């Protein structure tokens, strides 16, 4: 019914906030002018474990308003996230942990005073290296987001013993760090006993609740403003210490305080993708039928908070197999807490699964595409076939190290893609405006992906007006509460609430309607649906230097209805490029003696640049899924990083004959 009337949805509407962004008018969290604004600078722990005994301040330091540490900071209420209990304890849990906050009248004065602040620390022996034989490994109750750590179906050992063809391979992925263009930032101001936070995050109402709890406030007394966000990738999904530090300092000096993280702090206090060690054992018949999969993973968390990167969870749904076992083990280390990073679990898990499957195909002398099509469910197989046609797969010689042009070895690779289609409870309000048009209000966050644009398209079609007639209000915790901009669920969740409110408005003929999806989304999530896809890569590897160039990278997706082809394509390509980074460039390098990662800026933590991206494209089977939700969308934010690294690594093997089982595929590993 909706699609009959649809005019805006499905068309490439440009981002509504684009002109404001390119002209500099759009405001990010740290850019809101405040009277008497003061600046906080975090003093990070120089050791990974120990005790902070004292902080010696320089009474002559100019322009310094306060130096806060556990010896003088106001006591905070509890939180279920110990990382938000900033400046409350003498214990040091990781190198880089905020031990003090210097607050000054200028940013430069705060930074200068922080750099010369003297900390009296009792250092203790630290333990920072992940190993699979670590005695402290344990089986967690649950892994992210909230699913069992282990599963078992059938008899994996017997099936592997009986299988004529098996692989037993271990893949390791280093810690990876979220680096949105806009680092985390907060301005905090107390208006009486109400807290106002201009904060860069993915979930205004969630931040209001979490930060409020720390100060003993209900969420209604915390006003979080998040109008524009320069990316998040999961690192801004939950409240981070910068928000609490700013609010704490503002309460002490009774002035607004800004805490904007420098890039270096992005490598300690905002979370990261935990390193994983993953052992895959796969058994198959000689015809390529999969008979058994065993996926075991080892990972780490911090001493403060348990977060378990759920790398084996994707294997539970990817390929139907009669004998399947998945397991997660985690060890707490004197290291920062890992958190969400784009497709947490799925992205690293699919590296191991899809590369191991490629190794199996080689053992079988089979085409890795055919092997997958045989193993996959019909929707996934359709993506593999359609993608292969577009990419040009047929006629490929399955043998590695066969094609050389000049100094370059050339190869191609494929990998599947999947991401769960979920929706989360959200509420939207729609009002008819005097003088025409409508206002749509929902406390969602637009990370730069085009979320507000897509909501305007949805509302325009439901109300039967052009997009220009819709005024969108988002990014504010005082608006009707919306779910986190995460889990690739934003458009489905918020769009559902907006659709419901618009339909109620039209049906009731009133001037305002509010719609809450809480009861509805549970039904969708029970359907356990996924978006799926297929990634194809062509690489060339320099025979002299080992440099890998990705000549072509292509993604074919089935993600339900594509609401805006322009912003959707951008999401797919961005995630595929992030997948390229995971395969080839990104690596947080641990120095066990120093007790942290030593590369913490974008000069030393490498991400793909424009020059690394040669030919890249994404396409989709536009298959509205209205049985799932009225939006018909399954989510697109993360699937592009699921499988794309494996497609590149499989292409590297095809080019060179070298299996990279320890990411990333640096040149030195290919010589």
Query: Under the rule (CB under 6 A), what is the footprint of ligand MOS?
Result: 202, 232-234, 237, 340-342, 344, 486-487
Separation between Cα atoms, residue 190 and residue 186, nearest integer Å: 13
Do the beta carbons of residue 353 and residue 276 sit within 8 Å?
A: no
Smallest separation (angstroms) from ligand MOS to the CB of 429: 25
Q: Residue 534: in which H helix or E strand, if any?
A: strand 530-542
Residue 468 a catalytic site member: no
Query: CB-wise, 248 or 636, nearer to ligand MOS?
Result: 636
Smallest separation (angstroms) from ligand MOS to the CB of 302: 18
DSSP per residue, 71-113:
TTSPPP---S-GGGSTT--SEE-STT-EEEEEEESSHHHHHHH
Smallest separation (angstroms) from ligand MOS to the CB of 130: 21
Question: Minimal CA–CA distance to 319: which of 287, 354, 351?
Answer: 354
**Beta-sheet strands, E only, within 319-384:** 323-332
Smallest separation (angstroms) from ligand MOS to the CB of 18: 22
Helices and strands in the chain, H and E counts: 15, 28
Query: CB-wise, 202 or 300, nearer to ligand MOS?
Result: 202
Query: CB-wise, 189 or 530, nearer to ligand MOS?
Result: 530
CA dihedral 348, 353, 359, 360 (to 10 degrees): 180
Lookup: tokens for 374: 């045989």
Residue sitting closest to ligand MOS (CB): 234
Q: Which residues contact 465 (CB under 8 A, 6 or more apart)?
A: 437, 438
Question: Minimal CA–CA distance to 413: which of 344, 364, 355?
Answer: 355
Smallest separation (angstroms) from ligand MOS to the CB of 640: 12
Query: CB-wise, 234 or 595, nearer to ligand MOS?
Result: 234
Collapsing DSSP to helix, strand or coil, 29 comes out as: helix
Query: CB-wise, 145 or 148, nearer to ligand MOS?
Result: 145
List 346, 359, 462, 638, catalytic entry = 638
Query: CB-wise, 233 or 307, nearer to ligand MOS?
Result: 233
**Beta-sheet strands, E only, within 421-529:** 427-432, 438-441, 470-473, 512-516
Smallest separation (angstroms) from ligand MOS to the CB of 271: 9
Smallest separation (angstroms) from ligand MOS to the CB of 342: 5
Q: Quote the crossing angle between the two packed helices 346-364 and 644-656, to the nearest 10°.
A: 30
Query: CB-wise, 209 or 367, nearer to ligand MOS?
Result: 209
Separation between Cα atoms, residue 611 and residue 643, nearest integer Å: 22
Catalytic positions, written as ranges: 638
């Amino acid at each position: 019914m909706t699609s009959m009337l649809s005019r805006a949805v499905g068309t490439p509407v440009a981002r509504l906030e684009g002109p404001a962004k390119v002209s500099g008018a759009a405001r990010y969290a740290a850019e809101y002018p405040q009277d008497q604004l003061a600046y906080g600078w975090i003093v990070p722990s120089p050791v990974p474990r120990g005790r902070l005994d004292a902080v010696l301040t320089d009474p002559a330091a100019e322009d310094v308003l306060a130096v806060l540490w556990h010896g003088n900071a106001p006591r905070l209420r509890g939180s279920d996230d110990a990382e938000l209990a900033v400046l409350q304890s003498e214990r040091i849990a990781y190198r880089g942990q905020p031990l003090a906050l210097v607050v000054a009248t200028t940013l430069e004065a705060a930074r200068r005073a922080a750099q010369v602040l003297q900390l009296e620390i009792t250092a203790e022996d630290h333990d920072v290296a992940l190993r699979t034989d670590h005695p402290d490994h344990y089986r967690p109750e649950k892994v992210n987001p909230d699913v069992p750590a282990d599963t078992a179906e059938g008899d994996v050992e017997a099936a592997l013993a009986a299988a004529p063809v098996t692989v037993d391979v271990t893949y390791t992925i280093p810690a990876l760090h979220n680096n949105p263009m806009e680092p985390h930032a907060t301005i905090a101001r107390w208006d009486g006993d109400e807290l106002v936070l201009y904060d860069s995050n993915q979930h205004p109402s969630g931040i209001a609740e979490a930060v409020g709890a720390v100060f003993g406030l209900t969420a209604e007394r915390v006003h979080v403003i998040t109008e524009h966000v320069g990316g998040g990738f999961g690192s801004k999904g939950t409240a981070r210490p910068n928000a609490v530090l700013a609010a704490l300092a503002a309460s002490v000096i009774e002035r607004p305080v800004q805490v904007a993280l420098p890039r270096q702090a992005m490598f300690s206090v905002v979370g990261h993708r935990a390193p994983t060690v993953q052992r895959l054992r796969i058994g198959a018949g000689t015809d390529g039928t999969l008979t058994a999969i065993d996926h075991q993973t080892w990972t780490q968390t911090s001493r403060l908070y348990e977060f378990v990167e759920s790398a084996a969870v994707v294997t539970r749904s990817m390929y139907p197999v009669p004998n399947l076992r998945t397991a997660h083990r985690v060890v707490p280390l004197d290291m920062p807490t890992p958190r969400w990073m784009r497709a947490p679990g799925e992205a690293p898990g699919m590296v191991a699964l899809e590369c191991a499957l490629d190794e199996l195909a080689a053992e079988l002398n089979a085409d890795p595409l055919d092997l997958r099509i045989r193993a996959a469910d019909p929707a996934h197989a359709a993506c593999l076939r359609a993608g292969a046609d577009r990419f040009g797969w047929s006629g490929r010689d399955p043998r590695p190290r066969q094609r050389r042009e000049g100094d370059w070895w050339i190869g191609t690779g494929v990998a599947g893609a999947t991401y769960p289609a979920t929706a989360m409870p959200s509420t939207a309000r729609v009002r008819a405006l005097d003088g025409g048009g409508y206002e749509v209000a929902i406390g969602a966050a637009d990370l730069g992906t085009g979320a507000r644009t897509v909501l305007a398209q949805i509302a325009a079609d439901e109300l039967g007006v052009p997009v220009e007639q819709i005024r969108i209000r988002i990014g504010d915790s005082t608006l009707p509460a919306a779910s986190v901009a995460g889990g690739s669920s934003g458009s489905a969740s918020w769009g559902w609430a907006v659709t419901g409110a618009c339909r109620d408005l039209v049906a009731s003929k009133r001037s305002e309607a509010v719609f809450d999806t809480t009861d509805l989304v549970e039904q969708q999530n029970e359907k356990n649906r996924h978006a799926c896809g297929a990634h194809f890569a062509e690489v060339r590897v320099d025979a002299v230097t080992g440099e890998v160039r990705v000549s072509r990278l292509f993604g074919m997706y089935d993600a339900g209805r594509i609401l805006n082809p322009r912003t959707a394509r951008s999401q797919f390509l961005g995630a595929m490029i992030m997948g390229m980074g995971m395969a080839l460039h990104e690596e947080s390098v641990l120095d066990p003696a120093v007790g942290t990662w030593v590369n913490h800026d974008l000069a030393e933590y490498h991400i793909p640049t424009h020059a690394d991206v040669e030919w890249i494209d994404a396409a989709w089977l536009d298959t509205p899924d209205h049985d799932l939700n009225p939006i018909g969308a399954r989510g697109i934010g993360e699937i592009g990083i699921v499988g794309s690294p494996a497609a590149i690594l499989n292409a590297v093997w095809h080019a060179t004959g070298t299996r990279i089982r320890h990411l990333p595929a640096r040149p030195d590993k290919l010589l």
